[in-house]
Structure 1
Amino acid sequence: MRIARPRSARIVAAVIAAGLVATGCASERDDDGGSGDDSQPFVFGAAGDPASLDPSLASDGETFRVTRQAFETLLDHEPGGTELVGGLAEEWVGNETGTEWTFTLREGVTFHDGAELTAEVVCANFDRWYNWSGTYQNTTMSYYWQTVFGGFAENESPETPEPNYVGCTATDELTAVIEVAEPSANYPGGFSLQAFSIHSPDSLEAYAEDEASGEGENLTFPGYSQEAGTVAGTGPFQISEWNKGNGEVSLTRFDDYWGDAAGVEELVFRTIPEEDSRRQALQAGDIHGYDLVAPADVATLAGEGFQVPTRDVFNILYLGITQDSDEALQQLEVRQALAHAMDRENIVSTQLPEGGVVASQFMPDTVAGFSPDVTTYDYDPERAQQLLAEAGAEDLAVDFCYPTEVTRPYMPAPADIYELLKADLEAVGITVNPVPLKWNPDYTETTRDGSCNIYLLGWTGDFNDGYNFLGTWFAGYSKEWGFENEDLFALMDQAQAEADEAARVALYEQINEMVMEFLPGVPISSSPPSIAFSADVNPPTVSPLTQENFAEVSFK
C-alpha cells in the first residue's frame, strides 16, 4: 500500500448503501476446540520495522500489521475476504449523492487509557487530520489522508489537492455524520483503512504537543509515534513496548476489549529482514510464524509439519517508468521495448508461489473492471531491439532502482527479480545501472519523488474497488510516473463521479485498455502470498488484504 497522487479529491461514489453489523468469525481451530497456555508470548517474524506507532502517519504494510492489532476503524473487512463489515460502527449508510456518511457506533467501547468511544471522539480524529499543517502535509506523513480525503483546512503547497472533507458532526452520543464535498469510489471502503483508526481523546491532546518536523526528504516523526506509552486505541491488544534497537514491538492483551478476548496474553513482532533467517527462526522454534514465505520453502515447511496457508490473489507487481526522468522514456516505442524485453513468465515460474500469474494490466482479475481486451506485450527480445532502433535508443541506459532488506506480498525476492530483469534488459542492449535502496524510507521516498528511471513496486489492495488500484497510480500527474495524459486523467475523473456500479466497472475496463495502450509501466505479475505458522498454534484467518487479526491466535 503506498504512493499515489490523487488528481483531486473528487473521486467517486462506489456503492451508496447501508452496511450491517459485522458478525464474528474465528479462524479454524484444531479438533479439540480448546486453547493451550495463553501466557506464552506469540512471536511473529516481520519483514521490516514499523515506521510509526501512529497508523495515521503510515502507508506501509509492516506498520499496519502491528497497529491493526491495537487500533480499530469505523469499518472493517470480513475475516478472510474483502466484504465490508462493521468495525467500531455497527451500522453505516450513505445518502443518495454519496456526500454524507452516517455511522452508528458500538456501545461500551473503551480505549486503552480508559476513555469511552463517542461520536465526538470520532469527529475529533477526523478534524485532527483535516487540520494538519507543516510537516504533516508532506505525503510521507499524510499519504492516505490526501489520497482519500484530499487536502487540508489550509493547504500550504500548490501540489496538495483540494480538500474533499467538509466536516464531521456528532448528532448524538453514538452517531457521527461525516460530510464530503464530492462522492468518491474511496467511500465507504476508505473508512476501513488503518490510517483512519480512531485514537483516544487524551492521546490526541498529547499528539498535539509533540509535532513532526523537517521537510523534503529530511523528515522526523513525532516522538510519541516512536515509543510506546502515548498512543491509545480500542483494539484487542495495546502496544506496551517498542525496542527499536532489537527490532521488537510488544503488545499485551487488553482485558476491557469490547469483543472476544485475544487468545494470547502477549504478542511480539520481531523484525527479521531476510526471508531465509525468518524461515530458520521458525524451524528453530524462535518464532511462531512469519509472512512472505519464499515459494521454494512452501513445500519444505509443509513437509516438516508447519502450517503454510496461502492467501487469495489481490495484488500487482509492476515495473514503474518515470517518463520525465529521461527523454527516451517518453517515447512509446522505448516503453514497449522494455515490455517486450522482459521474460515475465520466467519470473512467475521461478520467483512466485504456485498460483502466481503474469499480469496483463494494473489490477488482478479478482477485481471488477479487469478487461480481457487490453493490449499485451509478449516476451520478444528481437521485437524489443527493433523498437529501440526505431526510437533511436539503441544506446539506452537506465538507473534501475530496487529495494533491499525487505520482501513484499507481491515481491517475495526483490533482488532476485531485479537480477532476472537486468539480464533481460541487457540482452537487448540496454545498459542497466543498479540502484539498491533500503525500503523504508529511502526506497519509497526515492520512487515517490521520481528519482529513478525504472523501478520495481507493487500494490496489495486496501479494499475491493477498481479505483483502489487504478486511482492509486493514474488519477493525475505524479512525480513517480512523470507523465501528463489528459485523456486518461479525464476518464479517471469520469469514473470517479460515476455512482452506478455497472457503469463504473465498464469505465474501469476502458481505463485498463487505455493504460495498456499508453504503457506508463509494465505490470509483471499477481501472486498469492503464503504465510507460515508453527504446528502448535491455531493461526488467524488469512486475509487477501494481508489484514490478519492476531487476536484469533491461540496455542493448541
Structure 2
Amino acid sequence: MISLLDKFPDGYPLGRPKYLAKEQHMWQRRLALAGAIAITAALALSACSGPSDAQTTDGVRGDKLSVQFTGVPISLNPALAGGGGSVVFTTLAYDPLIYLSGDGKLVPDLATEWKFRDDENTQLELIIRKGVTFQDGAQLDAHAVANSMNYFMEAGGGQVGSVGPIDTITAEDDDTVLITYKTSFPAAPTRLTQANQLGLIIGPEALKNPESLLTTMDGTGPYTYNPDTSVAESTYTYDRWDGYWNPDAQKYEQISVQVIGDPNAVISAATTGQVDFAAGGADTADAAASAGLSTISAPYFNYGLIILDRKGEIVPALADEKVRQAMGYAVDRAAIVAARGGDEFASAIDQLTADGEQGHDDGIGFDHDMQKAKSLMAESDYPDGFSMTLLSESPLDNQSLITQTAIAHLKEIGVKVTLDVASAIPDFIQKAGSKKYPAIVWPIVGDTASDYAQTFTGQGFTNAFGVADHDLDDLVAQAIVATGDEKEALEKQVSARSNELAWFLPLIATKNVYYVSPHVAGVQISPLNPNPIPVAPSADLAWRPAQ
C-alpha cells in the first residue's frame, strides 16, 4: 500500500486523498481558491510588515504575541473543547497527530507517517514520532496516543461527532497506532488535525485525573499553560516550554489569548497594539486599514435556523413539514447579507451548501418567496401562525444581526418569535441541549452536503431531541463513500432531502475575517483552513516576528 506521504511528500491537500486528482474536481476548485487566497494573504502581510524588536532567523524569538478570541473556551480539555477558532486555546499546549497548515495541507506532526492498509479506507495506520516528551515528563508512544484518543471518544465532548465512524483505536506496538472505522472513511487523516481535537494527544498523568484538565494542560505542545498569570474568561497565558521537541518552531517566549467580544473593543485593541491578531468585520474594516493592519479572510460558516423540536414536543406547529418549509421561503437572505456588511463578508445560501460546494444544486433552494410561504402556511394546520422561542448567541452572531433579520421575515407569515440570546458559547450549547428550546440559529461547517447534514442529524445539541430521518441518513452514508459522478449525484440528493425536511433552514455563508499586525509574519488562511493558529511543527509554518 502506498503511503499518503509518498504521494504528497510536501503535505497533501485536505480532502479525500484516495481520489483527489481524478474524481474530486469540485475539491480541486476549492484547492485552487485556497491557494490563491493563501498566497494573496501572505503577500499582503509581507507588504504590510513593519519593524520589530525581534529578528526572524531561527533561534531568535520574539518576546510576546497576543491574539484575540471572541468568547471564552468551552473547555481547556481537548476532549471537551470546541472547534473553529477556539482551538487556539488547546493547540498552544497540545500537538496534533497531523497538522493542518494555513494553506490547507496535511503536515506530519506527532504522526510522522500515515496510510490506509486497505482499499476500502477502513484501517488507518499511524507511525508515531520518536523522542517526544509530554509536559508531565512521560514519553510519547503509540500506547499514550491510543489511550488519549479512546478517552476523547468516551468523554462525550461536542467534537466527537465530527471525527468519523470510529470502531476501535489500538496500539499495535510502541510506534504504531491502528484506527479501524465501521465504514469506509477516506477523510480520516483530516479528522486528526487540530481542527477536530481528537488528534491533540493528552499525557498519561492527566488521563489519570481528567478533572485536572479543566484548569491545567498536559500535552507535547510548544507552550505550557500558565494558570497563575491567566485570568479566567479574560486572559489565557502560555509560556514557551523548554522541553519541546522542535525548539526552532517556538517563535515567541510567550503567547496570550485575550477574550474580547465587543467589536469596538476588538478594533481598539488591534489598532493600539494590545493584540497582534484579531477577528474583523464590516463595521471595523476601514479603521483597521487606516491603522496599517492587514486584512485576511476565507469562507467558513454556513448559518442556518436549525429546528430542534422536529416532532413538535414543545411547539406542535414545528412537526408540520409545510410550516417548516414556509419558514424557509419567508426569509430574505439578501437582506441578511446586507445587514452583515455586503457580499465582501457574506453570501446568501438557499440550501445546505454554498454555490461551488459539492452537493449544491441550482435546481432547488429556498428562494425568497413570501407568496409561496403564505400559501404553505394556509395549507398547514396552522394558518393563523404560532409562537415560539428561538435561541441565538452574541459571540458569533454579533448584535444578533442574522437572527433579528430572519425573525422580522418570519413575523410576516404569522410566526411570532421570542428571542433568547446567550452571551457565551458554553451557555448557548448548554441551553440548546436542554430540550427547552424548539429552534436555534447556529453555523455549521463542512465541504459537502453530506458533511453539513451530519452536523445536525447526529448526536449533540444541534439535534437535542435525537430525531432521525432514515432516508437522509441513508443518502448521507452512501454519499460519504461514493466517488465521481455517483458522489455528485448523491450529494445533490442529500441537499434536496434536507430542504424537503426543512430541519435546517439555510440563511447565509459568512467569511472568517482577521486583522494582523504589521509586526507579525507567517499568517496564512484559506478556504481549507479558515482558522489559523500561531504554532506549527516546523519553523517555516509558525507565526513569527516580522523583519
TM-score range, shorter chain: 0.7 to 0.9
Q: Is the 8 A contact 2:422 2:428 kept in 1?
A: yes
| CA distance in structure 2 between the partners assigned to 1:352 and 1:459 by the alignment | 20
Cα distance 1:18–1:483, how it changes in 2: closer, same or farther (>3 A)? same
Query: Hey, what does 1:176 align to over in structure 2?
Result: 177
Secondary structure of the residue aligned to 1:347 is helix
The one-character-per-residue Cα deviations of 1:497-516 (angstroms, maximum 9, x if unpaired) are x3545533431121112212
- For residues 226-245 of structure 1, the aligned pairs below 5 Å read 226-228=214-216, 231-241=217-227, 243-245=230-232
Amino acid paired to 1:104:
I
Secondary structure of the residue aligned to 2:4 is coil
1:550 shift after superposition: 0.7
Query: Hey, what does 2:145 align to over in structure 1?
Result: 122
Amino acid paired to 1:289:
F
Q: Which of 471, 476, 482 is the matching residue for 1:492?
A: 476
Secondary structure of the residue aligned to 1:196 is coil
Query: Hey, what does 1:299 align to over in structure 2?
Result: 286
Cα distance 1:77–1:39, how it changes in 2: closer, same or farther (>3 A)? closer
Q: Which of 221, 241, 258 is the matching residue for 1:270?
A: 258
Secondary structure of the residue aligned to 1:188 is helix
| CA distance in structure 1 between the partners assigned to 2:522 and 2:69 by the alignment | 16
Amino acid paired to 2:510:
S
Query: Hey, what does 2:244 align to over in structure 1?
Result: 257
1:23 shift after superposition: 5.3
Query: Hey, what does 1:418 align to over in structure 2?
Result: 403
Cα distance 1:395–1:472, how it changes in 2: closer, same or farther (>3 A)? closer
Amino acid paired to 1:547:
N
Amino acid paired to 1:489:
D
Q: Is the 8 A contact 1:93 1:101 kept in 2?
A: yes
Is 1:208 the equivalent of 2:208?
yes
Q: Is the 8 A contact 1:475 1:493 kept in 2?
A: no
Is 1:519 the equivalent of 2:502?
yes
Q: Is the 8 A contact 1:341 1:428 kept in 2?
A: yes
Q: Is the 8 A contact 1:320 1:522 kept in 2?
A: yes
Cα distance 1:384–1:365, how it changes in 2: closer, same or farther (>3 A)? closer
Amino acid paired to 2:477:
D
Cα distance 1:88–1:474, how it changes in 2: closer, same or farther (>3 A)? same
Cα distance 1:121–1:40, how it changes in 2: closer, same or farther (>3 A)? same
Amino acid paired to 2:317:
A
Query: Hey, what does 2:197 align to over in structure 1?
Result: 195
Q: Which of 160, 165, 178 is the matching residue for 1:145?
A: 160
Is 1:36 the equivalent of 2:38?
no
Amino acid paired to 1:403:
E
Is 1:90 the equivalent of 2:112?
yes
1:345 shift after superposition: 0.3
Q: Which of 316, 320, 335 is the matching residue for 1:331?
A: 320
1:387 shift after superposition: 2.4
1:103 shift after superposition: 1.2
Cα distance 1:74–1:174, how it changes in 2: closer, same or farther (>3 A)? same
| CA distance in structure 2 between the partners assigned to 1:457 and 1:414 by the alignment | 14
Q: Is the 8 A contact 2:85 2:531 kept in 1?
A: no
The one-character-per-residue Cα deviations of 1:408-453 (angstroms, maximum 9, x if unpaired) are xxx4x25122222222222333212122223332211222344323
Kindly report the root-mean-square deviation, in angstroms, between the aligned alpha carbons of the 2 structures: 3.1
| CA distance in structure 2 between the partners assigned to 1:33 and 1:275 by the alignment | 25
Query: Hey, what does 1:72 align to over in structure 2?
Result: 95
Secondary structure of the residue aligned to 2:114 is strand
- For residues 374-453 of structure 1, the aligned pairs below 5 Å read 375-391=364-380, 392-404=382-394, 406-407=395-396, 411=397, 413-453=398-438
Is 1:456 the equivalent of 2:441?
yes
| CA distance in structure 2 between the partners assigned to 1:47 and 1:351 by the alignment | 17
1:543 shift after superposition: 4.3
Query: Hey, what does 1:153 align to over in structure 2?
Result: none
Secondary structure of the residue aligned to 1:469 is helix
Query: Hey, what does 1:530 align to over in structure 2?
Result: 513
Amino acid paired to 1:109:
V
Is 1:320 the equivalent of 2:313?
no
| CA distance in structure 1 between the partners assigned to 2:142 and 2:459 by the alignment | 34
Range with bigger deviation, 26-35 or 116-125? 26-35
TM normalised by structure 1 equals 0.80
Q: Which of 537, 544, 547 is the matching residue for 1:554?
A: 544
Cα distance 1:70–1:506, how it changes in 2: closer, same or farther (>3 A)? farther
| CA distance in structure 2 between the partners assigned to 1:72 and 1:288 by the alignment | 23
Identity %: 21
The one-character-per-residue Cα deviations of 1:449-490 (angstroms, maximum 9, x if unpaired) are 4432332101234xx555432222235897447644222222
| CA distance in structure 2 between the partners assigned to 1:524 and 1:481 by the alignment | 22
Q: Structure 1 unaligned runs (5+)?
A: 1-14, 151-163, 211-221
| CA distance in structure 2 between the partners assigned to 1:476 and 1:236 by the alignment | 33
Amino acid paired to 1:61:
G
| CA distance in structure 2 between the partners assigned to 1:35 and 1:116 by the alignment | 37
Cα distance 1:22–1:349, how it changes in 2: closer, same or farther (>3 A)? same
Query: Hey, what does 1:363 align to over in structure 2?
Result: 353
| CA distance in structure 1 between the partners assigned to 2:138 and 2:200 by the alignment | 12
The one-character-per-residue Cα deviations of 1:516-543 (angstroms, maximum 9, x if unpaired) are 2332221111122210122332252124
Amino acid paired to 1:320:
I
| CA distance in structure 2 between the partners assigned to 1:21 and 1:51 by the alignment | 36
Query: Hey, what does 1:510 align to over in structure 2?
Result: 493
The one-character-per-residue Cα deviations of 1:82-110 (angstroms, maximum 9, x if unpaired) are x4333322221112232211112333333
Range with bigger deviation, 479-488 or 515-524? 479-488
1:246 shift after superposition: 5.7
TM normalised by structure 2 equals 0.81
1:393 shift after superposition: 3.0
